[in-house]
Amino acid sequence: TPQPYMDVIFRDRKPVESINLSHEVRLQQDSTSLTITYDAIELNKVPAATFQLPAEVKSLLPPPVAEPDQEDE
């Protein structure tokens, strides 16, 4: 049986700060399509601490594996 597929097409690339981002995304499957157009895109300034694991989660992790010493060849 053929697997369903959907084409995702990113268009209208414009600079947002120092990154080129697509301001239009088109989803297409057979004869049906949907286009999403962004008038404006902003990048959020997120503190690094936002991505730190909570202490309760860190306590569940195994201890880190030490990196082997690498000798210069």
User: pLDDT tens track of the chain, all 73 residues?
Assistant: 777 899 999 999 999 999 999 999 999 998 999 999 999 999 988 998 999 999 999 999 998 888 887 665 5
- Interatomic CA distance for residues 24 and 14, integer angstroms: 10
Eight-class DSSP state of 65: P
Can you give the pLDDT at residue 72? 58
